[in-house]
Structure 1
């Protein structure tokens, strides 16, 4: 039994170091050291194992349980970015936003997506990975469309420009900004779709062949690392747009990055994560793999108060669930 406990103790320490390493994503960019960003992908498994081992030490009446429990407090905020239990907010909202990676309507078609969007009666709709053409949403008269990011608004669009254009197609924008006049005040809406990893299920699904699995893991890492570095460049462009904005900002979209990643820390800096503030339950938004992945977000400036946040699991129109958020605007 002593050997088992020693093994579990070493494992627990190792997991603690990995989790602490993940927190360094707030400071260490992928181009300098990408492996911290890789750890963010495994956060659900790491934290669950950490908690189970802590419970084991408590049941075993070991003093080390106190150490691991106290250290575990450092991971409370990282956990709330995945799972949260805020009280229900019944305040009145001024603005409703739907952010949705529609996968170009390839799952159930654009007609079903249009029906869903219209049923939401949102003020602003942000689509990613969708050309947006062919949509005619009732009540959403103002549009600004790039090939990868499309913004629809009930309110008047004052200005629009692409922030990050594709290296291959000039009409593709991985991020755009749209200035919208709402009730006499201008707000900047940034619609983001960071560089995708372009994985297929068969590329990440392991089987009983160890040699084949090893090659798959190496292949995944070979795709992850360069994309992390590309994200760093894209995040820098968006950060500059945030810093120079003369208006309150709402940033939303598909970051192709999980919470506690470099992308999350640096894009959310100075902004409020609507899920952390008012969300309830799980924030997992990508459902194509049997693994919890939150990669869709809605952030807002301090002056814009989140009222509600929902990952709408009632529909499966894409490999992403739509994200619906409401806000109170400053008076």
Structure 2
């Protein structure tokens, strides 16, 4: 029994160090050490394992349980970025924002149009829009689509511009900015679509062949690491756009990055995560792999307060669920 507990203790300590490693994404960029960013993908499994082992020590009446419980406090906010239970919020002068990766409309163009129209949103931010037109949304102004991202709004668009990183070679923008006048005040909306990993299910589906599975894992890592590094260049240019904005910022989109990643820490710096403020339950927004993955977000300047945040899981029109948030534009 002592040997068994020793093995569990070593395992628990190992998981703790891996979790602490994921926190290093706030400080160490992928181009220097990409492996910390890799840990963020496994955060749900790591934290669940950590909690189970902590409970084991509690019921074993071991003093080390208190040490692990105290160390676990460092992961309260990282956990809340995945699963949160906020209280109901109220706010005046709200706008409704919808962010949705529609996967080119390949799963039903008309159903997507009907869904977007039914939302009656102030601003709709689409990723992977495929350059499709939305004739039923005739009351909306729209930025020119480049086939990847676009913004539609009932309000006046003053200007818009695609944002590219300096090392972009495939013509995929990091984001789209649009200055939109709402009720006499201007807000900068940023629609983000960080470079995709371009995985197919067969590439990550394991089977009984250990050699084949090992090769799949190696191929996955080979695809992840360069993409993390590419994201760093995109994040750099997006941060400059945020920091130079003369207007309050509302940033949404498909980050192709999970919470606690380098991308999350640096894009959210100085902004508020609407899910942390007003979200309830799970923030999982990508559902194609049957694994809890949150890669769609709504952030805003501190002068803008989230009143509600919903991941609409009743809508199966893409491999993403739409993210819907109401934002109060009044001062806190």
Q: What interval of TM-score do these two structures reach, taking the shorter chain for normalisation?
A: over 0.9
Indicate the residue corresponding to 1:259 in structure 2. 259
Query: How far has the Cα of 1:167 moved from its partner?
Result: 2.2
Indicate the residue corresponding to 1:321 in structure 2. 321
Aligned residues: 328
Query: How far has the Cα of 1:139 moved from its partner?
Result: 5.6
Indicate the residue corresponding to 1:186 in structure 2. 186
Query: What SS does structure 2 have at the residue aligned with 1:30?
Result: coil
Query: How far has the Cα of 1:30 moved from its partner?
Result: 0.2
> Contact conserved, 1:97 with 1:125, CA < 8 A, in 2?
yes
Structure 2 segments unaligned to the other structure (5+ residues): none
Query: How far has the Cα of 1:94 moved from its partner?
Result: 1.5
Measured on the aligned residues, the alpha-carbon RMSD in Å equals 1.2
Q: How big is each residue's C-alpha offset from its partner over 1:308-331, in whole Å with a ceiling of 9 and x where there is no partner? A: 000000110000000000011036
> Contact conserved, 1:117 with 1:137, CA < 8 A, in 2?
no
Indicate the residue corresponding to 2:296 in structure 1. 296
Query: What SS does structure 2 have at the residue aligned with 1:173?
Result: coil
Q: How big is each residue's C-alpha offset from its partner over 1:54-86, in whole Å with a ceiling of 9 and x where there is no partner? A: 000000000000000000000000000000001
Q: Distance in 1 between matches of 2:76 and 2:170?
A: 41
Indicate the residue corresponding to 2:104 in structure 1. 104
Residues 1:4 and 2:4 are matched in the alignment = yes
Name the TM-score, length of structure 2 as normaliser.
0.97
Q: Distance in 2 between matches of 1:296 and 1:246?
A: 25
> Contact conserved, 2:105 with 2:130, CA < 8 A, in 1?
no
Q: Distance in 2 between matches of 1:132 and 1:110?
A: 12
Name the TM-score, length of structure 1 as normaliser.
0.97
Query: What SS does structure 2 have at the residue aligned with 1:21?
Result: helix
Q: Distance in 1 between matches of 2:100 and 2:284?
A: 13
Q: Distance in 1 between matches of 2:197 and 2:99?
A: 20
Indicate the residue corresponding to 1:226 in structure 2. 226
Q: Distance in 2 between matches of 1:314 and 1:202?
A: 26
Structure 1 segments unaligned to the other structure (5+ residues): none
> Contact conserved, 1:161 with 1:177, CA < 8 A, in 2?
yes
Query: How far has the Cα of 1:146 moved from its partner?
Result: 2.7
Q: Distance in 2 between matches of 1:136 and 1:186?
A: 26
Indicate the residue corresponding to 2:132 in structure 1. 133
Query: How far has the Cα of 1:185 moved from its partner?
Result: 0.5
- Worse-matched range after superposition: 89-98 or 297-306: 89-98
Q: How big is each residue's C-alpha offset from its partner over 1:131-180, in whole Å with a ceiling of 9 and x where there is no partner? A: 343212436421102321110000000010011275234xx433110000
